[in-house]
Structure 1
Amino acid sequence: MSNQFEENIELLPLKDFTERAYLDYSMYVIMDRALPHIGDGLKPVQRRIVYAMSDLGLKAGSKFKKSARTVGDVLGKFHPHGDSACYEAMVLMAQPFSYRYPLLEGQGNWGSPDDPKSFAAMRYTEARLSRYADLLLSELGQGTADWVPNFDGTMSEPEVLPSRVPHVLMNGTTGIAVGMSTDIPPHNLTELLNASVHLLENPRTTIKELCKHLPGPDYPTEAEIITPKADLVKMYETGHGSIRMRARYEREKDDIIITALPHQTSPAKILEQIAAQMQARKLPMVVDLRDESDHEHPTRLVIVPRSNRIDADELMTHLFATTDLERTYRVNMNVIGLNGRPGVRHLKDLLNDWLTFRTATVRRRLEYRLDKVSKRLHILDGLMIAYLNIDEVIKIIRENDKPKPVLMKRFKLSDEQAEAILELKLRHLAKLEEMSIRTEQKELKEEQAELEKILGSKQRLKTLVKKELKEVAKEYGDERRSPIVSREAAQALDVTELVSADPVTIVLSEKGWIRTAKGHEMDPIELNYKSGDAYLNSARGKSNQLAVLIDSTGRTYALPAHTLPSARGQGEPLTGRLSPPPGATFCGVVTGNPDQLVLLSTSHGYGMVSRLEDMITRNKKGKAMLKVPEGARVLPPVPVTDMETYWVAMVSNEGKLLIHHVAELPVLPKGKGVKIMNIPPARAKSGQEYATAVTVLEEQDSLKVYSGKRHKVLKPEEMEPYEGERAQRGIKLPQGFRNVNRMEPVEE
């Protein structure tokens, strides 16, 4: 079998092979794709795009070139990957709403804040480097970068660009690697360089002191950063945290104008989110919404309140809490350090590492220049000898087939000096040339002495770095765009505040179907019900209140009244929204404000008064409220306006009516209650005697009792015989009105 395999094929167990392959892939993604280097703050694809464009001569101010040409160069020479991914990276660097300091200038459609990915194809767009790219490239040809072979070994590319600014913090970056990610926010260049200079001058400074110079991120939008300052300091101390941004708005007459949105927030999406709330009738205080953005006003979203009485600040606070007008951005300052290892670093570490990189870059630049100056001085020394002995030099060149070694021997010249003399053009033999050589020598010697002085002193080198940083800040710095403002946390308005308070009647049927009708005038019994179904109970309230239901097990449930279906139809079954216990049926509905008192009772004559807020629950499975004795059924709940002046009336199936003060009943958060009417336990348990209806009425009210289709109205003076104390048996109603199925008070 072994003869079938070539000798250079390595056989490995599958476990070892997959482990090694995955580790190699992981390291590649971390090091060569997703994370930025601390030196120039760029990922490899970004670095290659910037370098390839400089190689094509697309510097700031030059003529624009098709993006396809740039992408072709990047892929063909340095980055053998997908063209669409490369072009997307290029687009991102050109979008002024994505990058705080765009590295590219684009011509054509490069996307919009509404849809950053709506950019045109690379064959249509044109690009060149921006002035900010100069901060990365200006020192490239000065011995400052390490060069590595490209993917096929035919060319060289810079390993890291010699950035003159801490670009990793200036423009920030995001990336997802294997097992780690990075999210670095952008910062204001002036503030960033001020912090760097301060750290150079005071190496022992604290992060808190650095934050005086660099108070927080600065995004390419004028929206407010509302993260508390203590949280920003903590973020810089740990290297991770979060930033919260909030849109800015102003009043224009009665309208609210949104003038700035959080970073990478789409105006279209904001309008969509607000419109969705309006359609769901969750934003009654807004009547219109417009997008008036144009070239003059890049962000201008208009919200038109229903009236000038609407509190704009309260409305906007609600929108901040429920839409992308306020957003949170994750911060995780994970970069590849000078040691080539990725890691999360705090602010001082990041700046210290970058300053180490910058100092080394400046040293390399000075050494490169010193070497150039020394070589030129060496050549000038040789040229000076030639000019001082020009006749003899010409004679040696004319008389010798190989003048070079003769010149070297005669004047003790080096190979480079002799070569320079031999390459002299006749026009350079003019008399004035000696003066220009002496002038150049003088200038170069002064420069050489200065360079040696700086290179020989760490302090002088540090001073030079500091001076250059200040010059960059002066030339490229600008004002902060994202103001850091202290704001209270946004909070959504309560449903009751968002929904208009229109009068409604909530109607519940025997089969557990619910609906809501506008107004309080309609008769719920006259509504159309499904076959086999009929009216059970109703409650009058407002559309911004909750409909609270009770089932046969004594559990209560709550639903917003404005979400219930209209009474124009037959409603919908409650089981579609709630999850009552198996076999349970709904027995009644009540509504009102949270402090509303409600009489709860069972057919065994027990009852209590409870507050509506104790009955409210968000749980679809309900809340155990009323303890129901075995064999008893729950009577529909009755609202109680005043415990002191109201009376409770209960009637049994034997036609016995008892009326007593509501004040005799306890106010309980839950339980069985006390006896309203005395129904003997044995008769109640066997089902022989039970309460059929209960209601409450005021002193001057009459009582209407229904027996089938007949009804009788008891005047206040006619009710006196039925008045008694709690837990009595009651007095029988007149013949023909003893089979009472419901009762209701009638105002006189």
Structure 2
Amino acid sequence: MSDTPIYSPEGLERLPLHRFSEKAYLDYSMYVILDRALPHIGDGLKPVQRRILYAMSDLGLTAAAKFKKSARTVGDTLGKFHPHGDSACYEAMVLMAQSFSYRYPLIDGQGNWGSPDDPKSFAAMRYTESRLTQYAEVLLAEVNQGTVDWQPNFDGSLEEPKTLPARLPNLLLNGSSGIAVGMATDIPSHNLREVAKACIHLLKHPKADVAALMRHIQGPDFPTAGEIITPRAELQRIYETGHGSVKQRAHYELEQGDIVITALPYQVSGSRVLEQIAAQMQAKKLPMLEDLRDESDHECPTRLVLVPRSNRVDVERLMSHLFATTDLERGYRVNLNLIALNGRPRVMNLREILDEWLSYRRTTVRRRLQHRLDKVLERLHLLEGLLIAFLNIDEVIRIIRTEDEPKPVLMERFGLSDTQAEYVLNTRLRQLARLEEIKIRAEQDALSAERDQIQATLGSENKLRDLLIEEIEADTKKHGDARRSPLTERPVAAALNDTEIAPSEPVTVVLSEKGWVRQAKGHEIDGTGLSYKSGDRFLSAARLRSNQPAVFLDSTGRSYSLPAHSLPSARGQGEPLTGRLDPPKGASFVVALGGDPQQRLLLASDAGYGFLCNLEALIAKPRAGKAVLTLPPNAQVLPPVPVPASGSSERELLVAVATNAGHLLLFPITELPELPRGKGNKLIGIPSAQAKSRDEIVAAIGVIEVGSSLSILSGKRQVKLKPSDLEHYRGERGRRGNRLPRGFQRVDGFALE
């Protein structure tokens, strides 16, 4: 079907459906973009906001006027300028009155206008009263001074301003947000003093870049006093591209051990934050918190108190978790999308916004000056005619008394213009008294001086620039205030992991020979007294805290770890470790370890090689674990031996190594290296033939202090070697050592004291 319109015999236009729908959608899109969702760069307002403020100004609701019912304002706005729903109009009005929503409120409200906890809890418009704030004068003071273009209202009976003559860049000061068709805007609010300084700097240095302007505009300044934690480099990228996000974090202080939150991020409800924290406490995900309460009142609008369980709680780590998991930290999208002076939507950077607004302001001031100049010239013209009439008062009176049409006679006799003659005829006789000459000439002199000043300003870009700077400085002094949202770079918030959240309680992890594991509360648990599955029995136990990892070592030299609190209770028979871990095929678990991550261990194989490492080096999060001890062919892992902590005197420690053939060697522990992984160094010399056939292997290792005794276990017998006896077995690492006494040449292990 052709796209050309077809007219029916009745004169109706027929269009293809795709053309009609395309045009209708485009018309709707442009309406939403230009007349509803996006602000104009000139005054930073959307049409509904602009119409509300102009209607209030038209009603005389200045900052010095008495309050009037909000319903009156909404009625005038809808009836004269904005034929839409009253609830939407009133909500837009409420938003401009909320000090926690607008950085510089435009409406002064009396009554219930909502609260930070529930901004929608405002009273109906028949109850609240309102008037304009002093800051609103920045937008409205010059509206009737020839500064803006006017357009007919919706029914053509009145005229409304297309934009308001803002004396400051309200777009940046109060920000804006909105969703249109295919585009959106999110402009954060800024500090008036900072933005004014940036404008003045750009007027003095027209080629200044974003980095130079950011020496004045540090970043957004929200209505709430939460900390802006976005790094400066990120803020500069946002201001250079017009896109990005800003993060704001609650501010807290410590008072007698309690955490007191005194400021929340923008648009965050304190009650909602308390609900989020309480939900975590009920789910037992915040064991370090004992209580929370809301102490907010009129004097302290935000005061949320969190009570830690003890003074040992890491407050910074706790708050980092709350920042990551609650609304105590919130991100705000930045999209500097607005309607430019050419009437088209566009994303601008900081410099373009200020430059475009200054162009708008320069045009506004020129129009204001020209409007005033026209008024001055008109008045001077009238005064000139009045003075002529005064100097010829008798003749003027005679003409008026005798002529039927005095106006053309006056114009011809004294060379007056039509307006001058009309003004003379409308002048009262009393104004032509002798004293009026002085007043007329004084007014002429004052207006002549003003005329010369305005013409000089309009004729000089430098003088116009100086006037702009002077007016910006005056408005800044009147309406400016200190920054409300401090800028502070903070580390990235991170939620607590399961181990940190778990309560710190003493537990015992019990491992069976077949690899079944369980954990019991307390350190007094006897693993041999627990029940096991048929054919299974106790192998190893580790005493640690519930918020620490339990470490397991298998027969191939690989280590694994699991959170102790996640292990099944010892009330049952536990569960197999192979259900959570993936050891190599045929491997079996050798030992369970736990405790202080800095605990030193002696790791060794029965082939006679070993090294020192910390328990922390054995912690492995993957299911497959990690290789720690490299084993020679056919060698087996020996249970690691804890190294006693040295006292202040740094007493010497000895490593005791015994083979199943009855050879014992003691050497200083300092001869062993500290490694994170590997095969280690030779502990005791075993002949290669016996090592290959595994006829002789290391049967026991231990660490003792110099001057301690050592008990040798051989079957059911035990012999205690005194310190003097042990001197016979001391030597260098890797030596053969000496044979034990007859009857103890089959070593099963050590009994360390």
Q: How many residues align?
A: 718
> Residues 492 and 393 of structure 1: is their aligned pair in 2 closer, same or farther, counting only changes over 3 Å?
same
Amino acid at match of 1:358: R
1:539 aligns with 2:546: no
* Other-structure match for 2:364: 361
* Other-structure match for 1:267: 270
> Residues 588 and 426 of structure 1: is their aligned pair in 2 closer, same or farther, counting only changes over 3 Å?
same
Separation of aligned partners in 2, 1:276 and 1:744? 53
Amino acid at match of 1:106: G
Amino acid at match of 1:295: H
1:390 aligns with 2:397: yes
Residue 135 of structure 1 deviates from its aligned partner by: 0.4
Residue 572 of structure 1 deviates from its aligned partner by: 7.6
Residue 461 of structure 1 deviates from its aligned partner by: 1.8
* Other-structure match for 1:466: 469
Residue 364 of structure 1 deviates from its aligned partner by: 0.5
Say whether the 8 Å CA contact 1:171–1:185 is kept in structure 2: yes
* CA offsets 1:333-392 (integer angstroms, 9 cap, x no match): 333322333334333332222111111101001111222233334444455556531342
Q: Please, what is the CA RMSD of the aligned residues?
A: 5.5
Amino acid at match of 2:522: G
Q: Structure 2 stretches of 5 or more lacking a match?
A: 645-651, 727-733, 736-742
Say whether the 8 Å CA contact 2:6–2:15 is kept in structure 1: no
* Other-structure match for 1:476: 479
How do 1:610-629 and structure 2 match up within 5 A?
A: 612-619=615-622
Say whether the 8 Å CA contact 1:386–1:393 is kept in structure 2: no
* Other-structure match for 2:41: 38
* CA offsets 1:477-526 (integer angstroms, 9 cap, x no match): 22233344566666778877776643211245799876532211023454
> Residues 466 and 519 of structure 1: is their aligned pair in 2 closer, same or farther, counting only changes over 3 Å?
same
* Other-structure match for 1:10: 15
Say whether the 8 Å CA contact 2:115–2:121 is kept in structure 1: yes
How do 1:593-612 and structure 2 match up within 5 A?
A: 593-596=596-599, 612=615
* CA offsets 1:15-46 (integer angstroms, 9 cap, x no match): x6666565555544443333322211223333
Amino acid at match of 1:431: A
* Other-structure match for 2:197: 194
Amino acid at match of 1:215: Q
Residue 259 of structure 1 deviates from its aligned partner by: 2.8
Say whether the 8 Å CA contact 1:285–1:306 is kept in structure 2: yes
* CA offsets 1:85-138 (integer angstroms, 9 cap, x no match): 444433332221222211122223323233334434444433322111110111
* Other-structure match for 2:433: 431
Separation of aligned partners in 2, 1:611 and 1:657? 30
* Other-structure match for 2:649: none
Separation of aligned partners in 1, 2:100 and 2:681? 69
> Residues 714 and 335 of structure 1: is their aligned pair in 2 closer, same or farther, counting only changes over 3 Å?
farther
> Residues 442 and 309 of structure 1: is their aligned pair in 2 closer, same or farther, counting only changes over 3 Å?
same
Q: TM-score under structure 2 normalisation?
A: 0.75
Aligned sequence identity (%): 57
1:52 aligns with 2:52: no
Separation of aligned partners in 1, 2:153 and 2:625? 68
Separation of aligned partners in 1, 2:306 and 2:749? 47
Partner secondary structure for residue 296 of structure 1: coil
Amino acid at match of 1:390: I
Say whether the 8 Å CA contact 2:6–2:14 is kept in structure 1: no
> Residues 163 and 608 of structure 1: is their aligned pair in 2 closer, same or farther, counting only changes over 3 Å?
same
> Residues 131 and 582 of structure 1: is their aligned pair in 2 closer, same or farther, counting only changes over 3 Å?
farther
Partner secondary structure for residue 108 of structure 2: strand
Residue 469 of structure 1 deviates from its aligned partner by: 1.3
Say whether the 8 Å CA contact 1:596–1:641 is kept in structure 2: yes
Partner secondary structure for residue 140 of structure 1: coil
Separation of aligned partners in 1, 2:430 and 2:579? 100
Partner secondary structure for residue 547 of structure 1: strand
Amino acid at match of 2:433: K
> Residues 249 and 608 of structure 1: is their aligned pair in 2 closer, same or farther, counting only changes over 3 Å?
closer
> Residues 483 and 668 of structure 1: is their aligned pair in 2 closer, same or farther, counting only changes over 3 Å?
closer
Separation of aligned partners in 2, 1:289 and 1:126? 37
Say whether the 8 Å CA contact 1:220–1:263 is kept in structure 2: yes
* Other-structure match for 1:738: none
> Residues 659 and 108 of structure 1: is their aligned pair in 2 closer, same or farther, counting only changes over 3 Å?
farther
Separation of aligned partners in 2, 1:634 and 1:84? 80
How do 1:173-252 and structure 2 match up within 5 A?
A: 173-178=176-181, 180-229=183-232, 232-233=235-236, 235-252=238-255
> Residues 366 and 103 of structure 1: is their aligned pair in 2 closer, same or farther, counting only changes over 3 Å?
same
Say whether the 8 Å CA contact 2:324–2:495 is kept in structure 1: yes
Residue 149 of structure 1 deviates from its aligned partner by: 3.4
* Other-structure match for 1:376: 379
Separation of aligned partners in 2, 1:65 and 1:511? 84
How do 1:514-529 and structure 2 match up within 5 A?
A: 515-524=518-527, 526-527=529-530
* CA offsets 1:395-429 (integer angstroms, 9 cap, x no match): 43xx46xx66666566655444455455x376766
Partner secondary structure for residue 33 of structure 1: helix
Partner secondary structure for residue 174 of structure 1: strand
Residue 314 of structure 1 deviates from its aligned partner by: 6.6
Amino acid at match of 1:11: P
Residue 566 of structure 1 deviates from its aligned partner by: 5.0
Say whether the 8 Å CA contact 1:245–1:326 is kept in structure 2: yes
Amino acid at match of 1:125: T
Residue 183 of structure 1 deviates from its aligned partner by: 3.5
Residue 142 of structure 1 deviates from its aligned partner by: 1.1
Say whether the 8 Å CA contact 2:507–2:523 is kept in structure 1: yes
* Other-structure match for 2:299: 296
1:451 aligns with 2:454: yes
> Residues 332 and 649 of structure 1: is their aligned pair in 2 closer, same or farther, counting only changes over 3 Å?
farther
Amino acid at match of 2:399: E
Residue 8 of structure 1 deviates from its aligned partner by: 0.7
Amino acid at match of 2:264: L
More displaced, 609-618 or 367-376?
A: 609-618
* CA offsets 1:187-244 (integer angstroms, 9 cap, x no match): 2222322232232233344544434433333332334445555555555444455545
More displaced, 409-418 or 373-382?
A: 409-418
Amino acid at match of 2:271: A
Amino acid at match of 2:365: V
Say whether the 8 Å CA contact 2:68–2:129 is kept in structure 1: yes
Say whether the 8 Å CA contact 2:100–2:223 is kept in structure 1: yes
Separation of aligned partners in 1, 2:574 and 2:87? 53
* Other-structure match for 1:730: none
